[in-house]
Structure 1
Amino acid sequence: MTSIGQWVPGLHAVSTYRREWLMKDLVAGLVLTTLLVPQGMAYAELAGLPPITGLYTSILCLIGYALFGPSRILVLGPDSSLGPMIAAVLVPIIGSGGDPAKAIALASMLALMVGVTMVVLGIAKLGFIADLLSKPTQIGYMNGLAVTILVSQLPKLCGFSVDAEGLIGEAVGFVRGLADGEAVGAAVAVGVFTLAVILVLQRLLPKIPAVLVGVVVAIAATWVLDLGERGVKLVGALPQGFPPLTLPHASWSELGLLLVGAFGITLVSLTDTISTASAFAARTGQEVRGNQEMIGIGAANIAASFFQGFPVSTSGSRTAVAEQSGARSQLTGVVGAGLILLMLVLVPGLLKDLPQPALGAVVIAASLSLADIPGTVRLWRHRRTEFAVAMIAFLGVALLGVLPGIVVAVVLSVLNVFRRLWWPYQAVLGRVPGVGGYHDVTSYPHAERLPGMVLFRFDAPLIFANARVFREQIRELAATEPAPRWIVIAAEPITDVDTTASDVLEDLDEELNARGVSLVFAELKDPVRRKIDRYHLTRTIEPEHFYPTLEDAVTAYQALTGAQWTAPDAERQPRG
């Protein structure tokens, strides 16, 4: 691949395209369009924007990714997980039900900021930022998002609207609306029926485009039952013609909130893209080019931003549809973009009789797919601490809102990593007859020990956050009776020693020496040993007390003392 082909994979794809792929890509593009149109419109409304912007966004992001995205079949577009985030940015600026033109302008600027951020991260090779959301926090965040989306769409499903913000406010408003008789019977019927059709088909006949069938059924019901005259709100005719070229703009006072929202959207979009790309690459034998993926999704957002679009992400469901339909290249997405454009130019009134409750049903079906109940149950069964992290992330989104929720999720992920560094696993080791090596005496209570020597393993880098924990554990081991002569640190897991830890080690070694106890290291990695030398710790820790292996340390101790392995005295076991 040439250098220009690495930066613009679409050019390389054109030069290597196979003729036998053409028909499969055309068919897959046609099938994909049937999903892109209703979902694009529904997710635009979820973001608080006119439905037409969802179609404009779909067209431009598909073309942008086809040029700069590295994956053959990954499909981008408006996403249910980003919709509430976009709305959370727009509503505080323009208010609920504000000027649509203002909302479009701000959403376009948001897309531009997300796109530029993505491209910069890709060029700088900073894809590790996606790791700021751990799996438990992702599960909790997505569960919270699913509940938030579901509750926000219930009024639309029932044919009325609620002027409230936040999960609790919208839930209370929905209940009050029902109690006040605001629900429209015909809207409830068409909305619930559309939702039932989508969910049943997705479960029983997954290869059938359930969203398309649900939308067609809803439009047919509108024609037959004249739902527009029965109080059901319809989408109406869409503006005709090409997406208008519009430069994104916002005032200086608005850029701050937009920047905060852009960071959250970038993080969620990046995490979703990398995970989805990895899953489909594993199935198709491709390699994930994470940095180029960021450039590709950034280009897609930038392209959409100049045509009244809003931020986009990778769609796992639409990518799966493209794959199942035989897609072989990004021509599938280009075909989808072309067909949407033809619809806008030739038949903009095609979906004018689509009921708004049906769009609500499409969004609710998508929200249900965001929730990961089996994953939550698995966390409960296997690791309660990570289940607690997931639940806090869930409550952060549900009670504080989408943007504060993403902040809570990121902070939780970072704190969870910090917690593991702060209180790492520690173990006293012994020899188990018939089993090679040295093992945790907690798992092997009858492991043999060498009198006067403690083998201790500390499973983390030794840094400022855990140096005190390390010191206290060594002191506790040194205080056992009879007192040990050597405390040997199985240092293979210690990948770093910072300056704070080095000061702690120096003071600790002097304290132990005064009590007749030697601090000994085995299996210390060479880079860490060089840091020990650079810190001049060998002024107190004797240079000969560094051994390449645990076996060497044990042999040296036995040669010095003549000690032999013995079974443990259960009443005098040091704590690990």
Structure 2
Amino acid sequence: MSERGQAGSSRIVSRIPGLTMLRTYEAAWLSKDVVAGLVLTALLVPQGMAYAQLAGLPAITGLYTSILSLLAYAVFGPSRVLVLGPDSSLGPMIAATILPLVVAGGDAQRAVALASALALLTGAIMAIAGLGRLGFVADLISKPTMIGYMNGLALTILVGQLPKLCGFSVDAGGIGGEVVGFVGGVLDGALVPAALGVGGAGLVLILVLHRAMPRAPAVLVVVVLSIAASVGFGLGERGVELIGVLPQGFPPLTLPQVSVSDLLALAGGAAGIAVVSLADTIATASAFAARAGRTVDGNREMVGVGVANIAAGFFQGFPVSTSGSRTAVAQQAGARTQVTGLVGALAITLILLVGPALLRNLPQPTLAAVVIAASISLADLPATVRLFRVRRTEFALSMTAFFGVVVLGVLAGIAVAVGLSVMNVFRRAWWPYQAVLGRVPDLPGYHDVRFHPEAELLPGCVVVRFDAPLFFANARTFRDRLEQCAATAPVPRWIVVAAEPITDVDTTAADMLLELDLALNARHVHLIFAEMKDPVRRKIDRYGLTRTIDPTHLFPTVDAAIDAFRRETGAEWGPSPEPP
């Protein structure tokens, strides 16, 4: 092969992480990856089926989705340890997106087609965004709003699964309707004691094992015991719904048959799912990469997860995300590379081809127990309490996101969460922290007089700090603050702006500075800047502000500005009863 051909081949290999992994694969890793893959399969099968039903889809689609997402991410995913698949946090979002479009009577085939189209849209959004280097969108949801969103999601999932845990179903919209329907069903005698017994026991056992023996395959233990109880006690004859025999064989390549109007209706849900999936993936990838001393490439993760979604969409699957719990299980079992995922995909495929009746006696309430246990793990009450203690504003944001999910629904809830995060960023830039600075004896530098009331001030000179870039939204706030300083008695001769936190000045702010400087000059007050960054200084020059603002009033440091003022006025530091 020519040198050019070899170089081209190397570039292709470097852009496909799975090929790079195989080229550097060590034989000693194989046994560990195989064992971890088999352990992972025991978790993937019941969870995949449970989360498919959470999304309003047939249980078998959860296995199809698991297979294709594992295969695709093994090839295109940059992480060596992340495990993708159906996720409890996405299930309600998928259901909220596709179920309103399903015709009356609950056409399962149409629901699957819509879910597959949703996966294709989600994957396309993520892959295109990753190729466009937009991985930063994971930062659209702040941690407090994500905590609130997940808490609301946990409550929504739990309430929605309670009827299934008790052996009956509820046809209601919204969490309020589901609570009323559940209570009504119990009072009307719809509860199946055997269903509640096997489901409740399974839920308790999962929670106990997770706490007492965190490395034990709790879900697998519960699935095996539930199947044994189903056979031994004839639960199917006692009114307990069972999984039954799964369809045999591998799903065929299928292009979802949906209309253009369906795609438009699915687009909003796909965008929300993409944001949540990416945020979850980046958070999980960062946590596990940090343990191994690696870094995370958000853009490549977007591409990898996007391709996994596209692959699932072409084989009757639905949108997927990273699972922190399944990734932890794989790592604890000794997983070294994505060969673990390949083994898991192969094992699930063999179950479909050879043993589709293996899980026929698995009770449906057990799957509800698996989902409820997952929902409980989504909630983070200690973090919510901590927010209340340390920062009430972020606690309020978290609770608003929580009620957004509970009251408005899952899709509206994620919109609320993203909106709150963006508004919080804008609020901080709109009304940034501002401070008057003074000199504190025996403490270098200049400090906020609100936290250091003993600070000394320089008569005739006010030093202020504005902790944000100057732009159209906060230009008036900045001007009002400086005019407030100029209106004090006695009137200061200099107002020194400690400009190091000001990282930008837009044209609106530049016009404001021009008008402000003229107004202050008319009152014999000079506007002084210290520690202005070079890029900002160049913009000041380009805007022509130095025609009004004296270039000699631009100092490299606050100390330099203070020294110049003292030389000019002879002022000395001293206490001030009331800073401006």
Q: TM-score by structure 1 length? A: 0.98
Residues 247, 389 of structure 1: CA spacing in aligned structure 2 closer, same or farther, 3 A cutoff?
same
- Residue 431 of structure 1 aligns to a residue in which SS? strand
Partner of 1:172: 180
Q: 1:539: Cα distance to partner? A: 2.2
Partner of 2:311: 303
Alignment of 1:198-209 (within 5 A): 198-209=206-217
- Residue 574 of structure 2 aligns to a residue in which SS? coil
Residue deviations 1:256-287 (CA, integer Å, cap 9, x gap): 12100100000000000000000000011222
2:260 and 2:166 mapped to 1: Cα distance? 39
- Determine if contact 2:231/2:361 at 8 Å carries over to the other structure: yes
Q: TM-score by structure 2 length? A: 0.98
- Residue 436 of structure 2 aligns to a residue in which SS? strand
Q: 1:211: Cα distance to partner? A: 0.5
- Determine if contact 2:164/2:365 at 8 Å carries over to the other structure: yes
Bigger Cα displacement from structure 2, 75-84 vs 167-176: 167-176
Q: 1:465: Cα distance to partner? A: 1.0
Bigger Cα displacement from structure 2, 2-11 vs 543-552: 2-11
Which residue, 418, 422, 428 being the options, matches 1:420? 428
Determine whether 1:338 maps to 2:346: yes
Determine whether 1:379 maps to 2:403: no
One-letter amino acid of the counterpart of residue 237, structure 1: V
Partner of 1:367: 375
For structure 2, the residue ranges without an aligned partner over 5 or more in a row are 1-8
Which residue, 392, 399, 404 being the options, matches 2:400? 392
1:244 and 1:156 mapped to 2: Cα distance? 31
One-letter amino acid of the counterpart of residue 232, structure 2: V
Which residue, 100, 112, 120 being the options, matches 1:104? 112
Which residue, 516, 521, 531 being the options, matches 1:513? 521
- Residue 89 of structure 2 aligns to a residue in which SS? coil
- Determine if contact 1:506/1:537 at 8 Å carries over to the other structure: yes
Which residue, 570, 576, 579 being the options, matches 1:574? 579
Which residue, 184, 189, 193 being the options, matches 2:197? 189
Q: 1:249: Cα distance to partner? A: 2.9
Alignment of 1:240-251 (within 5 A): 240-251=248-259
Q: 1:97: Cα distance to partner? A: 5.4
Alignment of 1:481-560 (within 5 A): 481-560=489-568
- Residue 483 of structure 2 aligns to a residue in which SS? helix
Residue deviations 1:482-518 (CA, integer Å, cap 9, x gap): 1100000000000011111111111111111111100
2:505 and 2:537 mapped to 1: Cα distance? 9
Q: 1:179: Cα distance to partner? A: 1.1
2:417 and 2:282 mapped to 1: Cα distance? 18
1:137 and 1:97 mapped to 2: Cα distance? 36
One-letter amino acid of the counterpart of residue 400, structure 1: L
List structure 1 runs of 4+ shifted beyond 4 angstroms: none
Bigger Cα displacement from structure 2, 478-487 vs 501-510: 501-510
Which residue, 11, 21, 33 being the options, matches 1:25? 33
Q: 1:7: Cα distance to partner? A: 1.7
Which residue, 271, 274, 280 being the options, matches 1:266? 274
- Determine if contact 1:136/1:389 at 8 Å carries over to the other structure: yes
Q: 1:431: Cα distance to partner? A: 0.9
1:450 and 1:104 mapped to 2: Cα distance? 73
One-letter amino acid of the counterpart of residue 567, structure 1: P
1:512 and 1:171 mapped to 2: Cα distance? 63
- Determine if contact 1:96/1:163 at 8 Å carries over to the other structure: no
Q: 1:425: Cα distance to partner? A: 0.6
Residue deviations 1:188-221 (CA, integer Å, cap 9, x gap): 1111001011010000001110001111111111
Residue deviations 1:408-450 (CA, integer Å, cap 9, x gap): 0011000000110111111111111111111111111111111
One-letter amino acid of the counterpart of residue 517, structure 2: D
Residue deviations 1:295-346 (CA, integer Å, cap 9, x gap): 1111111111111000000000000000000000000010000000001100
1:565 and 1:289 mapped to 2: Cα distance? 51
Residue deviations 1:379-403 (CA, integer Å, cap 9, x gap): 1011000000000000000110000
Determine whether 1:148 maps to 2:153: no
- Residue 256 of structure 2 aligns to a residue in which SS? coil
1:135 and 1:332 mapped to 2: Cα distance? 31
1:119 and 1:509 mapped to 2: Cα distance? 49
- Determine if contact 1:112/1:248 at 8 Å carries over to the other structure: no
- Determine if contact 1:7/1:292 at 8 Å carries over to the other structure: no
Partner of 2:413: 405
2:14 and 2:410 mapped to 1: Cα distance? 36
Determine whether 1:294 maps to 2:302: yes
Residue deviations 1:62-118 (CA, integer Å, cap 9, x gap): 000000001111000000000000000111111575100000001001101111111
Residue deviations 1:134-186 (CA, integer Å, cap 9, x gap): 00110000000000000000000000000011111111111111111111111
One-letter amino acid of the counterpart of residue 394, structure 1: F
Partner of 1:11: 19
Residue deviations 1:504-538 (CA, integer Å, cap 9, x gap): 11111111111110000000011111111111112
- Determine if contact 1:46/1:87 at 8 Å carries over to the other structure: yes
Determine whether 1:136 maps to 2:144: yes
One-letter amino acid of the counterpart of residue 519, structure 2: E
One-letter amino acid of the counterpart of residue 503, structure 2: T
- Residue 427 of structure 1 aligns to a residue in which SS? strand
- Determine if contact 1:86/1:107 at 8 Å carries over to the other structure: yes
Bigger Cα displacement from structure 2, 185-194 vs 558-567: 558-567
2:187 and 2:167 mapped to 1: Cα distance? 14
Determine whether 1:83 maps to 2:91: yes
One-letter amino acid of the counterpart of residue 574, structure 1: P
- Determine if contact 2:136/2:298 at 8 Å carries over to the other structure: no
The count of residues paired between Structure 1 and Structure 2 equals: 572
* Percent pairwise identity: 66
1:58 and 1:415 mapped to 2: Cα distance? 36
- Determine if contact 2:13/2:20 at 8 Å carries over to the other structure: yes
Residues 216, 304 of structure 1: CA spacing in aligned structure 2 closer, same or farther, 3 A cutoff?
same
Residue deviations 1:118-142 (CA, integer Å, cap 9, x gap): 1111111100111110001100000
1:504 and 1:96 mapped to 2: Cα distance? 60
